[in-house]
Chains A and B, each alone.
Chain A
């Protein structure tokens, strides 16, 4: 018995040694910075140089119409973007699941290559497509659509289009992961028993894909509310989102406690979405 205990204790020590560097990185690079944000968001320096607890940084956010508008724009855009990725991503994942391996690989590459390119470059591409004298403007010009209506830069529509491309891969890959777990025989059973193609999709495939669609939506929504590069380049300064407003507080007005308070709100919103996502992801 003692020997078994010894082996078990050794194995435990070995696991701990393997995990130690990872835990160190998490503490230094993750818990420590996030902790600093949380502390900064609730502290205020008094006149004699001491620090005291305050909710004023959060208060500033909720009383100012400007920041409430920014928050509302961020949520509204995230909602539309999530919806768009569901509409395009779910059928795409289903097609991939049924496609011939060569076609499937081609689609996978089409989805993953943009995912692996820097978000700065993808957004740059959209600037060339949507901007003044861009691809879209020159495509619609022959149809008499010219001037401002042909340029989607600095519009919310432009942000939605660019962000949908940036985030679509997350939806496709999440839903595909779930669809791969559904046996083809279920669909075939439905078809042989006389159900039509669309009926099987609606009654068999779609309900089974719901966990994938929900977790895909949660992750797209979470990434969307915190994204910075694409909305700030496509939307410009006139259409700020939360992330842009935080950046402005840090580099523009140097109000770090306020930046910390906004970051805390963003983090809290993300956690609200991520916790159900983690639950869903764990249940196979």
Chain B
């Protein structure tokens, strides 16, 4: 097969493109991480000196800690609700007996491609007009609508490889609805549910757009706190918080890979 190998020129171009892409994709994250260990007051690159002082600073900062607590609470609630809502939808969409499956799946996945900005603005307006103002629940609802599609996608992905005959067998052998779901259907969905939960947590924890619009008084998430700092005077403490958040995302990416494989993202 050596005769079919790409020519040297193609290999050279491919190598150059790979190096360039890796730089462009990773350097912005790298400079944030590097800046977080800076000794100086200001954000300059390359950073001067090496210290952990900014990590000490954020861990002692009431503003950052309470923002982190808000983000964590919202993300946990959103994750639980997303899995509870998204899994049954994916199960229904996998059933041949569900009418209008193509249209329904388009409808349920549409929040993935529609601008997040619109949900934020719409929720802000709807809550101000009908509910007397935004609250932390507005944030939860807003995140829910962008997270549920991920759970639907990951659970659908594992169900497409599952054996539908198993559920049929349970049914004909007399298992009632509950036993059928607990012993057959849900175990089939397990890895998809886990991957969906990791996605949901990550998206809720990282979102700045919905949080920026549906901002209730006293409710500040970590990304909003970072955004606010960037608008005014960023110092290396923003880099330290960002580095910790990159770490959270990296762990979640690896967990998704463990659950269903990153390959299935394409």
Question: Using a CB–CB distance below 8 Å, which chain A residues touch chain B?
Answer: 8, 11-12, 14-15, 17-19, 21-22, 25-26, 28-30, 32-37, 40, 88, 91-92, 95, 98, 105, 107-114, 116-129, 133-135, 138, 162, 164-165, 168, 173-174, 176-177, 180, 188, 191-192, 196-198, 219, 222-223, 225-229, 233, 243, 246-247, 250, 256, 259-260, 263, 266-267, 270, 274, 277-278, 282
Contact = CB atoms under 8 A, between A and B. Distances in A.
Given A108-B263, A228-B117, A125 B27 contact: yes
A113 B250 contact: yes
B220 interface: no
A129 B27 contact: yes
A246 B239 CA distance: 29
Contacts, number: 276
Interface stretch (B15-23, B52-60, B62-70, B157-165): B15-23
B31 A263 contact: no
B125 A129 contact: no
A120 B230 contact: yes
B107 A26 contact: yes
Given A30-B145, A128-B35, A15 B114 contact: no
25 contacts: A11-B95, A12-B98, A15-B99, A19-B92, A19-B98, A21-B89, A22-B152, A36-B126, A37-B118, A95-B17, A108-B263, A112-B262, A116-B249, A121-B29, A122-B28, A124-B226, A124-B238, A125-B32, A138-B45, A197-B7, A223-B115, A233-B227, A246-B121, A247-B213, A260-B125
B102 interface: yes
Nearest to B262: A108
Contacts of B117: 226-228, 243, 246, 263, 266
Contacts of A122: 28-29
A128 B14 CA distance: 28
B129 interface: yes
What does DSSP make chain B's interface, helix, strand, loop or mixed?
A: helix
B218 interface: no
Interface size class of B (residues with CB under 8 A): 35 or more
B133 interface: no
Contacts of B97: 8, 11-12, 14-15
A176 B208 CA distance: 28
A274 B111 CA distance: 11
Given A19-B89, A25-B148, A277 B113 contact: yes
Given A29-B144, A138-B46, A277-B113, A116 B202 contact: yes
A278 B234 contact: no
B226 A114 contact: no
Nearest to B108: A22
Closest 6 CB pairs of A and B: A33-B122, A125-B28, A226-B115, A118-B206, A11-B97, A29-B145
Contact of B28 (A21, A126, A196, A226): A126
Contacts of B227: 120, 229, 233
Contacts of B130: 36
B124 interface: yes
A114 B249 CA distance: 9
Contacts of A120: 206, 208, 223, 226-227, 230, 242
Contact of B29 (A25, A30, A114, A270): A114
B246 interface: yes
A92 B21 contact: yes
Given A25-B148, A226-B117, A128 B249 contact: no
B142 interface: yes
Nearest to A24: B85
B122 A37 contact: yes
A12 to B, nearest CB: 6
